[in-house]
Structure 1
Amino acid sequence: MGQWLVIDLEATTEEGGWPIEHMEIIEIGASLVGSSGHEIDHFQRFVRPLRRPNLTRFCRELTHISQADVDSAQVLNAVWLQFERWIEPHRPRLHGWCSWGDYDRKQLLQDWQRNGLASHLQTLPHVNLKQRFAKERHLARPVGLNAALQLAGIGFSGQQHRALADARNTARLLPLVMGK
């Protein structure tokens, strides 16, 4: 199976949700895992949103990310350079990256384009683990991360809707889905 990178993003939002083009990344969490699903390394940073710098109350309550967390953070261009430096030594063994659902991939593509950023992730395959899990488990439709963990007999560890915790919990399902 090699090494996989599991990424989860938190973004600006409001109750009822915003269209993705109105959302901005406010937290990046990534867990680099080996074939057994064990974590080799991780990355977590807050990101200061520029277009809508003030988080909605709904967003703060959902993510447990405070206004101070994002106010003191760097903008995406700076944080993404840190991410690329962090992942660089792992690239030779990296088979691809994945996320729970397709939202994170779409948000990254949009924000890379919007900010004129390049990423090595663009050269690697992306796996939608939410779809893969549903197919593997013969589910009528894909389920949320928490429901998938419950189906696998695994309890959620950490704070839900925080990027690194969500990435780590997603990574716990990786061996069940990608091991074959």
Structure 2
Amino acid sequence: MAQLKQYIFFDFEMLCASKGLTFESMEAIRLGAVKYDLETRQITTFDQYIKPISNEPLSEFCKKLTGISDEDLIDAADFKEVLKEFLTWVGGIKKSQFFSWSSSDLTRLCLDASFHEISSSTIKKIQQRYVDFQAIFTQRVSKTNASVETALHLYGLTFVGEKHNPKWDAYNTLRIYLQFLNQPLASDLIMLKSFIFEEEEQYSVERVNTLLHHKLIDDFSSILGDRDTFPMKEASKLVKKTRNLVKKYNNILINRSGLFSQDILFLVKRLVDFHHTFISAYEEHRAYSSKIIILDDSERPLILKRR
């Protein structure tokens, strides 16, 4: 594997209509990208219109949304030629990591490459080095599928450049990624607000671990309490509830910022352990057609024992 030397963030503008189109027919009509050199931190850009196979005029909806006119596409190169120029600009797939805000851009790349009979081996090399950053950001920071503009706002930033211009969309996605990568404390604080302290108006860094301790105990007590016996139907719901709690608190275990105390890390690990133990116990009881499931003291989560 070649040494990683650069990030490539890319974005497509596609054919669109107010009444909707199948994704297969939403050909790319513009490709924008930014290249970020990991050593020099230099940023270079790529921006080209793409002439689609379809000869239909752009809809008024598409013109307004994308800012692209039929005249912009008259002398544009087709997808095959634009991709060739794009890869020349990239300067080496094997030394690159590719990103976009949503996997739809990779899907568009694959579909249009297939339409134009472009070598699948080239596309596979990009796929192997591709990251859907929106999915990561959703899982690790925002909880919901935020737009680029909303994600910037979470870090106190505003959109730079022209909206719905793929070059600027790619550039702003890079800005979000660099914040996520280089500002772990800010990212963890946003994550806490998104996943855990949704009803808290304000909290300080100093009080985070105290508040987390109370939240963990309250959340677990609300679904388990002091009970040790559950009908199987109720146990099935408990499996789902504990799974949701794991999703709620699991980002804490990554702890890139060092914000979370060893006590909190311990409690979250015990929560995860209990969830897996309970699933195993539930599946075993269900296999034997049990009517109830009983937790002995050793199976009760330490998070509740430490109240």
Q: TM-score, normalised by structure 2?
A: 0.53
Alignment correspondent of 2:57: 54
- Secondary structure of residue in 1 paired with 2:160: coil
**Are 1:79 and 2:88 matched, yes or no?**
no
The corresponding residue for 1:93 is 95
Could you say which structure has the greater relative contact order, defined with CA pairs below 8 angstroms and 6 or more residues apart?
1
Matched, 1:149 2:152: yes
Superposed CA RMSD? 2.2
Q: Partner of 2:131: helix, strand, or coil? A: strand
The whole-number CA distance in structure 2 between the counterparts of 1:49 and 1:56 is 14
Cross-structure match for 1:22: 25
Change in Cα spacing, 1:50 to 1:7, as seen in structure 2 (3 Å) is same
Q: How does 1:123-162 map to 2 (within 5 A)?
A: 123=125, 124-137=128-141, 139-162=142-165
Change (3 A) 1:92 1:23: closer
- Cα contact 1:100–1:145 (8 A) shared by 2: yes
User: Deviation digits for residues 66-89 of structure 1, max 9, x if unmatched?
Assistant: 11111121111111111122112x
Q: 1:20-73, CA deviations, whole angstroms, 9 ceiling, x for partnerless residues?
A: 111110000010113499443211100011224411111110011111111121
Distance 1:4 1:98, change over 3 A: same
Letter in 2 for 1:99: S
Contact 2:5-2:39 within 8 A present in 1 as well:
no
Q: Say whether the 8 Å CA contact 2:110–2:123 is kept in structure 1.
A: no
Aligned in 2, Cα 1:103/1:162: closer, same or farther, shift over 3 Å? same
Number of equivalences? 177
- Shifted more, 101-110 versus 39-48: the winner is 39-48
Uncovered stretches (5+) of structure 1, i.e. residues with no partner: none
Cα distance in 1 between the residues matched to 2:30 and 2:138:
26
* Helix, strand or coil at the partner of 1:47: strand
Q: Does 1:31 align with 2:66?
A: no
| Structure 1 residues 36 and 18: alpha-carbon distance in aligned structure 2, compared to 1, 3 A threshold | farther
Q: CA deviation at 1:153?
A: 1.1
Q: TM-score, normalised by structure 1?
A: 0.88
| Counterparts in 2 of 1:35 and 1:152: CA distance versus 1, 3 Å | farther
Aligned counterpart, 1:164: 167
The structure where strand makes up a greater share of residues is: 1
Q: Indicate the SS of the match to 1:28.
A: strand
Q: Return closer, same or farther for 1:52/1:152 CA change in 2, 3 Å cut-off.
A: farther
User: Are positions 1:109 and 2:123 aligned together?
Assistant: no
Distance (Å, rounded) in 1 between the aligned partners of 2:158 and 2:41: 16
Deviations 1:144-171 (A, max 9, x none): 1111111121100111111101111111
Q: CA separation in 2, counterparts of 1:36 and 1:166? A: 23
Letter in 2 for 1:107: R
Q: Flag the structure with larger Rg.
A: 2
In structure 2, list runs of 5 or more residues that go unmatched.
183-255, 257-307
Q: Which deviates more from structure 2 when the two are superposed, residues 111-120 or residues 149-158?
A: 111-120
Amino acid at match of 1:147: T
Contact map agreement 1:35 1:175 (CA 8 A) in 2: no
